[in-house]
Structure 1
Amino acid sequence: MDWDRVKIFHTVAEAGSFTHASELLNLSQSAISRQISALEESLGVPLFHRHARGLILTEQGELLRNTARDVFAKLSMAEAMLTESRERPKGPLKVTTTVAFGSVWLTPRIHGFLSLHPDVTITLLLDDSELDLGMREADIAIRMSPPRQPDLVKRKLMTIRHGIYASPDYVNRQGMPKTPAELDDHKLIVFGEDTAAPISNANWILDAGATPGKARRPILKVNNIYGIMRAVESGLGVASIPDYMVRENGNVVQVLPELEGPQSEVYFVYHEELRHSKRIAVFRDFLIREIEQSLR
């Protein structure tokens, strides 16, 4: 099996079209098509169904794509480990976490890390879905729940606690609730029903102290905690907010502090094959120090 043709096939399969693959490979579409046809001829099986709407992998194409993806992921991991300096951390580091945690807490601290380790290149992938670390979609994940895969290493970073908050402007206009039951009369901001919320029971504010038989109707539903925080800061209403966001912004006041909301654990996660990577170690240690300082 010709290795160069497999690399071209892998790019086309991931891109989904000759046009996009042509841009990525800097080759003409006709040259790519010839290489794919030659690979199919050498294997004796079709790899793509060709349609006017694009390319669809055949069953044999799916098998080769999955195998090639695994091979390239392992090669990428090997390359990173081989090129890392023995004396100092060096090389690329892809980090994924949720949009809210990455935007509010992590991104402002990257400058401090790169000042200490200028030979490390950071790529942040902010996504509320979990990327596949085994397939090298990222090197490190900062997750709001423990990993389920057995080949991933985890380290607990901190506990996130949720409370109820409003802006000073909102409290001046609407008053401060003195009991949980008084939330019935306030403008509540919650997660939408179809949202993959970062914690279970994310909309606990709808039930805390609620009058039996009287359903609370939120004034706004948002699919992201960062959006909820911004809505609260604007004075729109009251919402459950994680404590790390409050510490970073401070433009809100706590409502009914005696009410304890859900808690979640934050984990530093990476693939066990990167266990001895200096880049992983120094980034983990940096985050731990930053968390300790933020909690003082």
Structure 2
Amino acid sequence: MDWDKLRIFHAVADAGSLTHAGDVLQLSQSAVSRQVRALEEMLGTTLFHRHARGLILTEQGELLFDATSAMSRKLEGASARIRDSEENVMGELKVTTTVGFGSLWLAPRLVKLYEKFPDLKIDLMLEERVLDLPMREADVAIRMKEPSQSDLIRRRLLNIRMRLYATQAYLDKAGIPSSMDDLSRHRLVCQKADQPQVAAGARLIQEIMAQNICSTLTVNNYFGVLQGVLANVGIGVLPDYLIVDHQGLVRVLPEIESGEVPVFLAYPEELRQTRRVAAFRDFVLEEIQSYRRQKIDALAP
């Protein structure tokens, strides 16, 4: 089968338009159309339904697009491994994690990775949606639950809990709660229980909200919650990994916390030998070890 025709077919199917595919391939619309027609004649089938708004794959076209997508992912993986040299780590690495962990823990530490590998290009995608690693929506993920896909390499990094924190300035002004009932007299800074977040955190928020909290500030991510707490707005529900970098936070009501939340690093099996992935994995593991040591020091009397 003609590889060039398959490449053009894949671009058209991905773009849903001959014109857009031509722009990507730097070919004229007529040249793209000729190659698609030639492929259809070669296969003896129609690959696209054509209409005024664009192109829609036929059932046969869907089958072929699945095959070319798999080929594309394999070629990308092979290309990445070829580009990686014994001495250098370079090129783009797509990393996905949650907004909170990515902005509050990972991003501030990346300078150390760039110091070792200055030619690395990291595309850091922060969102609560779980991106599909086998489909190469991202190369590496750090997630607050164990990935379910069987064809992923995964490693448990640590366990975290959501706890209550405030600044000393806020507590000096508003008083220190001694029981769950006392929280009704304080302002709570947190995410809404129905917003995308780990289930353990949502349950803790529901439990606290049951105390008839009169005043709240709700933010849709932990970065915003932290900023509210640091600004002395109230008592915040925050992940405990913050205590290393924000040692001015004071834990409130130590008996109140969420269940354990596991944090996993995961990447596709086919990227196991890619030096960019290996460099990022080793960097994260080193930082986790350093974080554990700092956490012990921070909690020491």
TM-score category (smaller protein): 0.7 to 0.9
- For 1:263-294, what per-residue CA distance to the aligned partner results, in whole angstroms no more than 9, with x for missing partners? 21211212223333333333222222222223
Give the distance between the partners of 1:9 and 1:235, measured in 2 at CA. 57
Name which of structure 1's ranges 74-83 and 220-229 shifts more when overlaid on structure 2: 220-229
2:259 equivalent to 1:262 = yes
Q: 1:209 to 1:234 in 2, by over 3 A?
A: closer
How far does residue 242 in structure 1 lie from its aligned partner after superposition?
0.6
Q: CA deviation at 1:249?
A: 4.2
Query: 1:1-296 residue pairs with structure 2 within 5 A?
Result: 1-168=1-168, 170-171=170-171, 174-192=174-192, 194-208=194-208, 210=210, 216=213, 219-250=216-247, 252-295=249-292, 296=294
What is the rounded CA distance, in whole Å, between the counterparts of 2:8 and 2:132 in structure 1?
Answer: 23
Q: CA deviation at 1:98?
A: 1.6
Deviation string, structure 1 residues 121-150 (Cα, Å, up to 9, x no partner): 333222322222222222221111112122
Amino acid at match of 2:95: V
Counterparts in 2 of 1:172 and 1:8: CA distance versus 1, 3 Å: farther
- Contact 2:203/2:258 (CA < 8 Å) preserved in 1? no
In structure 2, distance between residues paired with 1:96 and 1:205: 25
Give 1:223's aligned amino acid: N
Task: Kindly state the Cα deviation for residue 87 of structure 1 after the two structures are TM-superposed.
Answer: 4.3
Q: Find the aligned partners of 1:173 and 1:122 in 2 and give their Cα distance.
A: 43
Contact 1:180-1:210 within 8 A present in 2 as well: no
Q: Which amino acid aligns with 1:95?
A: V
Please list the CA deviations of residues 78-124 of structure 1 after superposition, one character each: whole Å capped at 9, or x if unmatched: 22223322345444432222222222221222221121123443332
User: Unpaired runs of 5+ in structure 1?
Assistant: none
Alpha-carbon distance in structure 1 between the residues aligned to 2:62 and 2:12: 12
CA 1:193 to 1:117, structure 2 compared with 1: closer, same or farther past 3 Å?
Answer: same
- The C-alpha deviation readout for 1:169-202, integer Å capped at 9, x for no partner, is 5445543322111123333344345533134342
RMSD (Å) for aligned C-alpha atoms: 2.8
Distance 2:66 2:214 in 1: 47
Secondary structure, counterpart of 2:245 in structure 1: helix
* Unpaired segments ≥5 residues, structure 2: 295-301
C-alpha contact (below 8 Å) 2:81/2:275 kept by paired residues: no
The amino acid across from 1:7 in the alignment is: R
Q: Which moved more, 1:243-252 or 1:133-142?
A: 243-252
Aligned mates of 1:218, 1:51 — CA distance in 2: 55
Partner of 2:298: none
User: Contact (CA 8 Å) 1:189, 1:220: kept in 2 or not?
Assistant: yes
